[in-house]
Structure 1
Amino acid sequence: MNNELHKKIHHLIQSHNIIVFMKGNKLMPMCSFSNTVIQILNKFNIDYHTINVSDNNILKNEIKRYSQWATIPQVYINGKFIGGADIIMDLYKTSKLHELLEKSTSS
């Protein structure tokens, strides 16, 4: 792992309560999985940060190594890796995402 990039990723994750590493950005997701995550997060009227990995293959590969998760998007809440689009969808359907986001915005 690129040590400098690892530190940058760690800093980004720690600097934002909710951060999404994705293809595109919150205004223009560039894949259906990233779009799914954005549509779900937007339902909550919360502040969250996105990082576009589409134009940076090194960052895209490093975030996958960092999380040990092979796909994009990747969602982190309060510094903890939560998962990708399927997991966010499952958490949303079971209202567990509501709980995670409430804790995140109240901290």
Structure 2
Amino acid sequence: MTDDAQARIATAVQSADVLLFMKGTPLFPQCGFSSRAIAILDHLGVEYATVDVLQDQGIRQGIKEFSDWPTIPQLYVKGEFVGGSDIMMEMYEAGELAELLDEKKVVRG
């Protein structure tokens, strides 16, 4: 993996309070896990940005090393790695994801 991909990932992570690396776009997710992650974020009413890893092979591979997490999607809140869609689902169902967003002072609609 290139340092360029790592730098672009780091910049992206810092550029948004809530960032989801996913396959596809919010309107057209390309896998069920990405679709579920978007549904959770939409339900929580949070503004978020996304990066479509299918558009950039360097980021697709690099994000796995960046977070030391093997799967996509990956959620970051205020620059901190939260987890993939299973962790998001568990945290959402337990009310922990909403708590995290509130703790980090993420604006919700």
Confirm or deny a common fold (TM above 0.5). Answer: yes
Partner of residue 84, structure 2: 84
The answer to whether residue 70 in structure 2 is matched with residue 70 in structure 1 is yes
The answer to whether residue 19 in structure 2 is matched with residue 15 in structure 1 is no
Partner of residue 32, structure 1: 32
Question: If each structure's strand is expressed as a fraction of its own residues, which one has the higher value?
Answer: 1
Q: Give TM-score scaled by structure 1 length.
A: 0.93
- 8 A Cα contact 1:17 1:77, kept in partner: yes
Deviation track 1:19-70 (CA, whole Å, cap 9, x = no partner) reads 0000011111110000010000000222100000113222100011111111
- 8 A Cα contact 1:21 1:50, kept in partner: yes
- 8 A Cα contact 1:17 1:104, kept in partner: no
Kindly report structure 1 stretches of 4+ aligned residues shifted beyond 3 Å: none
Q: The residue matched to 1:7 in structure 2 has which SS? A: helix
Amino acid at match of 2:49: H
CA distance in 1, matches of 2:14, 2:28: 24
- 8 A Cα contact 1:78 1:104, kept in partner: no
CA distance in 2, matches of 1:105, 1:2: 31
Q: Give TM-score scaled by structure 2 length.
A: 0.92
How far off is 1:104 after superposition?
3.8
Amino acid at match of 1:62: G
Amino acid at match of 2:15: S
- 8 A Cα contact 2:91 2:97, kept in partner: yes
CA distance in 2, matches of 1:34, 1:83: 12
Q: The residue matched to 1:76 in structure 2 has which SS? A: strand
CA-atom RMSD in angstroms: 1.1
User: For residues 90 and 62 of structure 1, do their structure 2 counterparts lie closer, same or farther at Cα, with a shift above 3 Å needed?
Assistant: same
